[in-house]
Amino acid sequence: MLDNPNSAGEISPDIALRDFPKLFFATMPRSGTWYSFFLFEFLDMALTGSTRVRQINEARIHLGTKIVKCHGHSIYPNFEQIYKGPYRSAWDDLNFYCNAFNSGHNVVEQAPEQFSPLQSDDLKIIYLYRNPLDQMVSAFHHNKGSLSEQHRTYLEPKSGERVPFSSVSEYLRQGGLEGYIKQFFSYHETRENPNLMMIKYENLVAEPCRMFEQMIEFVGFDTELEEHREAIENALTMAAPDRVRDIERKLGRALAQDQSDPNGSHLRGGQTGKWKNELSPVDIKFCLNELSRFDIPAESFIFE
């Protein structure tokens, strides 16, 4: 049970798993994953008075907001079974150069009753993504310090050896963009689903309160109640980047425990528009051309 045994804490996990609305929250790597995660966590803590959120397998039971949520990098759940469109063969040919792009299938396989849209017609799905140019820049710099060889290297076709990415341009061409498209396309093709909400990272950074309210309203949370508004404001304050860095300092490690530098941070500033200083016109054209192969227009993104 929660640290506070009163009110919402009296709801048993089994009842919550059965009765609460379910939310599959997916993110593109380097697109506000931890920020959005903590927004939900701190909101729940403010509502319940607890210092933690209960987790059963991959399902986080939010007793304050009354939702059951999973949170991570993933393609659209069950996309392989759902999508039969004209780009299916081309999509199948795309690869994830590392496992950072798609772990959500594990959640769906472990808890299909909660997180499979094939078994749960009312499953809500939120997808948070960043424009591909900024995402390439952020992922390259973050992965340089990764403990995982798979994340910081690619398989060189001629030699068959793993080679470290030497530049954003190389990361773009040797797996980064391919993985981005494979994940993003699965949501782009299902964007008409009323149970799917797609959130641009750039909007979340610019207007965190408005975008967070849209997310929680999407799963049925009333943002107009006074006590709820206070809890939302508290969550926004507690999830701010400087507060999260304080958490990392207290832990003595990066949040994801994936960095070789013991003093490293999972957060890299989060600014938009860094691509302007690191990608050439040739790189940008290559990116947009690859997106267009899957009928993904540049207007799908915010390039600042």
Per-residue model confidence as pLDDT tens digits over 54-83: 999 889 999 999 999 999 999 999 999 999
Strand order in the sheet with 54-56: 54-56, 59-62, 67-73, 22-27, 124-129, 196-200
- Predicted pLDDT at 164: 95
Higher pLDDT, 148 or 134: 134
Among 142-151, 194-203, 243-252, 255-264, where is mean pLDDT lowest?
A: 255-264
pTM score:
0.91
Q: What is the pLDDT of residue 285?
A: 98
**How many residues are recorded in the chain?**
304
Grade residue 245 by pLDDT with cuts at 50, 70 and 90.
Answer: confident
Distance CA 250, CA 208 (A): 25
Where residue 162 falls (left for φ over 0; alpha for ψ -120 to 50; beta otherwise) is beta
pLDDT above 50 for 5: no
Element (H, E) at 40: helix 33-48
In a 13 Å sphere around the CA of 134, the CA atoms on its Cβ side amount to 21
Binned at pLDDT 50, 70 and 90, residue 267 comes out as: low
Q: Which pLDDT tens digit goes with each residue over 11-21?
A: 888 899 999 99
* Range 165-186 average pLDDT: 98
* Cα dist from 160 to 156, 165, 177, whole Å: 5, 15, 20
- At 264 the pLDDT is 55
Specify the pLDDT at position 304.
86
- Asked whether residue 249 carries a pLDDT value surpassing 60, the answer given is yes
Domain boundaries, the chain: 7-300
The pLDDT of residue 48:
95
What's the pLDDT at 246? 83
d(Cα 121, Cα 27) in Å, to the nearest integer? 21
**Mean local confidence (pLDDT), 92-120:** 93
Was domain 7-300 assigned CATH 3.60.15.10?
no
* pLDDT (0 to 100) of residue 1: 28
Two structure tokens written together for 77: 């759940």
Supply the pLDDT for residue 203: 98
The pLDDT of residue 2 = 33
Helix, coil or strand: residue 105: helix
Tokens of residue 200, six digits = 């641009």
For 2-5, the CB contacts below 8 A with 24+ separation are 2/48, 2/50, 2/52, 2/54, 2/63, 3/49, 3/50, 3/51, 3/52, 4/48, 4/49, 4/50
256: pLDDT strictly greater than 60: no
> Percent of the chain, pLDDT > 90?
77
Residue 84 has pLDDT above 50, yes or no: yes
Question: Which segments of 38-90 are extended strands (E)?
Answer: 54-56, 59-62, 67-73
Specify whether the CB–CB gap between 9 and 1 falls below 8 A.
yes
Give the integer Cα–Cα distance in Å for 111 and 51.
25
Distance of CA 208 to the CA centre of its chain: 15
Q: Which of 3-7, 140-144, 269-273, 289-293 has the highest mean pLDDT?
A: 289-293
Average pLDDT, the chain: 91
Q: What per-residue confidence (pLDDT) applies to 14?
A: 87
* Between 257 and 165, the higher pLDDT residue: 165
- Residues 12-41: what's their mean pLDDT? 94
Distance between CA 194 and CA 39 in Å, rounded? 23
Q: pLDDT for 119-139, tens place per residue? A: 999 999 999 999 999 999 999
Label residue 265 by pLDDT band (50, 70, 90): low
CA-atom Rg of the chain in angstroms: 20
Q: What is the model's pLDDT at position 275?
A: 97
